[in-house]
A and B are shown apart, each in its own frame.
Chain A
Amino acid sequence: MELLQFARGPALTVALAVFAFGALWRLLGVLLLERRGVYSAPRPGAPSIFASALAGIIGKMWPHATFLKQSLFPVLNGYLFHLGLAISVLLFAPHILFIKSISGLSWPALPSNLVYGIAVVTAVSLVAALVHRLTDPVLRLISRADDYVSWMLTFLPVVSGIAAVSHIGARYETLLAVHILTVCALLVWFPFGKLMHAFLFVVSRGETGIRFKHRGADI
């Protein structure tokens, strides 16, 4: 019990503080850099900046057919674990109660055993992503410590959550504490590694959307 109290008390507070501190530091440190002007007249009929950014953010959600052919596995597997993570994190009843207790926000949950199944699929998908990274020559060459640390810190909350729900390996409160501590580790690492793409993709895709729609080009 003491470990659990520590995990969801001081540990979580510190982790959230580090997360907020680091994420805002990094986001503003990027967004407040100098901006280059657009140097040219837009193509006639180019959409507004906002619509262009939105087109980039949404358009990049699915690859062009020709790229999909070549990257079928990473794309589909990527979708699988992103959706799996989103569902596991946001639609599991205890998580919603937890979020509600912190933020006051609440929404309906999916059946717990369904989320459990999805979490298991997510874990498998994450393992597949790691195997792909370790075996694909391109990924092996371009991967760095960040990729493996981020993978591990994403994977651990998933498996510790599965273990906590299914009471595998230790007592529930211990597993729950471990689960929360792994989430704390994830939160602490989040702002400093590639996981920040969860926020930055909006900016990056949006900027590209603006650049290409300005030219009347596809995204």
Chain B
Amino acid sequence: MTIPSTLGEVLAQQGVSRRALLKYSAYVASILALPAGASRVIAENLAKARRQSVIWLSFQECTGCTESITRSYSPTIEDLIFNLISLDYHHTLMSVSGAAAEHAREAAMRENKGKYIVVVDGSVPVKDGGVYSTIAGQTNLAMLKATAKDALAIVSVGTCAAFGGIPQARPNPTGAVAVSEIITDKPIVNISGCPPIPEAMTGTLAYLLSFGKLPELDHLGRPKAFFGETIHDRCYRRPFYDKGLFAESFDDEGARKGWCLYKVGCKGPIAYNACATLKWNGGTSFPIQSGHGCLGCSEPKFWDQGGFYTPLAAQAGVSGELVGTAAVAGAAMGGAAAWIARRHQRSHLAEVEALDRSPPAKSKG
């Protein structure tokens, strides 16, 4: 069997029709909110796309992101994308290969200098020289810097790589930081989420392969196509919010009737992600649909935003003590002001009386 060099050949070899590729392209174009003509361009470019070397670095992570992107309930065309890309290194998948895996990474970096894509999942610990996470004796920090040096672009997959995520949660013992805090001279696209939606990852990769550039990003470096709207704005329970119908607890009538979960801590209004539209597990469901509020996992510091079950509006960090002290002080000032005013009035009165005894000439000539 000859090794196919383009996605078109791969698909042909695997018995996938051109029609299926067009269908997938249309799907990618639609989830990326691209104009109608784009789907044909994607199909053509994908068919012509050369095998893309990808190096997947796993740092302080839980493998959830990898689980998300690799697990599918039925073989889909996304699987085939992986047949196209040359996944030259994936630490988690290749851990049993030991030193050979590292050699593969180094070889890929050499052979595809300036052309390979680095995917990172997991945050990078920098405290104490980065000793808290090492692979093959190399700190994550060193490996990231070395690998990123000749990369075409970096894809930070998951909230840990994108924003620091759970390892960075207070008190952040390892000094975990996001990839973007270390690599500042390469194009970086963040695909946040804990884990991210598989379609967001594959769709972004498809865009990269089709157009050779990053899609339009928001201010946090995320593709706007997936992270442009809040869960709340696209939530099927939104009408209940507007009507003022809320679940007050997880086992009340409102919860059973599927009312809005705002009062039980849903972070939908501040979570920018596509869960409410793309959903999970092949469009089956998403957390709110299964009765749990959104955790806002696609957002920076989502772990440190107060309780998951505290309503968004109820997270005021007001110090009652200071306010109480101020009230007491204010009352004291008020009392003092009135006392001063009374004294001031009396002294004025005394002056008036003194003046009355020797008034300015008031009689007329």
Q: Do chains A and B touch in the complex (CB under 8 A)?
A: yes
B333 interfacial by beta-carbon distance below 8 Å:
yes
C-alpha gap A22/B333 in the complex (Å): 9
Flag if B313 contacts A98 (CB, 8 Å). Answer: yes
Q: B292 CB to closest chain A CB, in angstroms?
A: 18
Interface of chain A residues 12 through 36 with chain B (CB within 8 A): 12-14, 16-18, 20-34
Flag if B330 contacts A24 (CB, 8 Å). Answer: yes
| Interface-central residue, B244, B299, B305, by most chain A CB under 10 Å | B244
Task: Select which of A28, A31, A32, A97 is within 8 A of B263 by beta carbon.
Answer: A97
B337 interfacial by beta-carbon distance below 8 Å:
yes
Flag if B301 contacts A1 (CB, 8 Å). Answer: yes
Pick out which of these stretches binds chain B: A41-49, A107-115, A126-134, A146-154.
A107-115
Number of interface residues of B (CB under 8 A): 47
A102 interfacial by beta-carbon distance below 8 Å:
yes
Pair count A-B, CB < 8 A: 134
A215 interfacial by beta-carbon distance below 8 Å:
no
- What residues on A are CB-neighbors of B246 within 8 Å? 93
B36 interfacial by beta-carbon distance below 8 Å:
no
Task: Select which of A5, A25, A95, A173 is within 8 A of B334 by beta carbon.
Answer: A25
| Interface-central residue, B313, B322, B335, B338, by most chain A CB under 10 Å | B313
C-alpha gap A107/B316 in the complex (Å): 18
Q: A10 CB to closest chain B CB, in angstroms?
A: 8
User: Contact mask B216-242 → A, CB, 8 Å, 1/0?
Assistant: 000100000000001011000000011
Interface of A is mostly: helix
- What residues on B are CB-neighbors of A211 within 8 Å? none
- What residues on A are CB-neighbors of B318 within 8 Å? 8-9, 12-13, 16, 102
Flag if B316 contacts A93 (CB, 8 Å). Answer: no
Flag if B330 contacts A32 (CB, 8 Å). Answer: no
B215 interfacial by beta-carbon distance below 8 Å:
no
C-alpha gap A112/B330 in the complex (Å): 36
C-alpha gap A177/B314 in the complex (Å): 13
User: Contact mask A84-101 → B, CB, 8 Å, 1/0?
Assistant: 000000000111011011
- What residues on B are CB-neighbors of A1 within 8 Å? 270, 299-301, 305
- What residues on B are CB-neighbors of A97 within 8 Å? 262-263, 311-314
- What residues on B are CB-neighbors of A8 within 8 Å? 315-318
Please give me the residue from chain A that is nearest to B233 by CB atom: A167
User: Which B positions have Cβ atoms within 8 angstroms of A?
Assistant: 219, 230, 232-233, 241-244, 246, 262-263, 269-270, 272, 299-301, 305, 310-320, 322-327, 329-331, 333-335, 337-339, 341-342, 345
8 nearest CB pairs, A to B: A28-B334, A101-B314, A9-B317, A32-B338, A24-B330, A17-B326, A94-B313, A21-B330
